[in-house]
Amino acid sequence: MSFNAEKEINRLWRGLHGAQDEIGRTYYRWRQAALEAAGSDAKPLDVSLRAAEIMGTEIGKAFLPRLNWLKGEETWLMNLAKSYAGNWINHGAIVKLEKGENPFEVLIKWERCPWPTFAKEYGAEMEEDVLCCDRILQSILKDVNVFFDVNYRIETLKAIPRGEGVCLRRLYKD
């Protein structure tokens, strides 16, 4: 039996995209279940922001073993930015990194992100998508900042759900 590399790559590629789609859909299914369980007085944004905070905290803890100071703080910062990018790339986003104009600053640019599509598919507001992403990104830094005794922040400069074509975040030392 011969091996067809192109066919195998296509099969794996389709499987990857299916898994990426399922990640987003599962999040919004759980969001719906949480809203139903919380009752009619629950505010979707409050439920989503709490979930985003929990997700970000867990992601930040997972980043810790991969970060170290061995090559200095600038390299550490770029590795942190790569960890952010890698997490979203795993979800199907296209993410690029650029050094910022200032020392200890990296710009993270999402050129494509599947999350606004998931939000729209499940009836969530586009602003909720932006605010939840911001909360995840900021919550990642909680334990990272404490563990490394630093004070980094991340801010949103542009957002796809706001019609700005890309999501641009500035990761910087405060």
Among 66-70, 151-155, 163-167, the least confident range: 66-70
Percent of the chain with pLDDT over 70: 100
| Residue in 142, 143, 128, 86 with CA at minimum distance from that of residue 110 | 86
* Per-residue confidence band for 17, with pLDDT thresholds at 50, 70 and 90: confident
Q: Which residue's entry shows tokens 């334990």?
A: 143
pLDDT of residue 18: 77
Is 140 within 8 Å of 56 (Cβ atoms)? yes
Mean pLDDT of 95-120: 96
| Phi-psi sector, 163: left (phi>0), alpha (psi -120 to 50), beta | left
pLDDT of residue 132: 96
Among 24-33, 127-136, 140-149, the least confident range: 24-33
| Residue in 47, 64, 83, 92 with CA at minimum distance from that of residue 149 | 64
Element (H, E) at 67: none
Phi (first) and psi of residue 94, to 5 degrees = -110, 115
Percent of the chain with pLDDT over 90: 85
| Rounded-to-integer distance, Cα 74 and Cα 86, Å | 18
Domains of the chain and any CATH numbers = 5-173 (3.30.1380.20)
Mean pLDDT of 88-108: 95
* Per-residue confidence band for 163, with pLDDT thresholds at 50, 70 and 90: very high
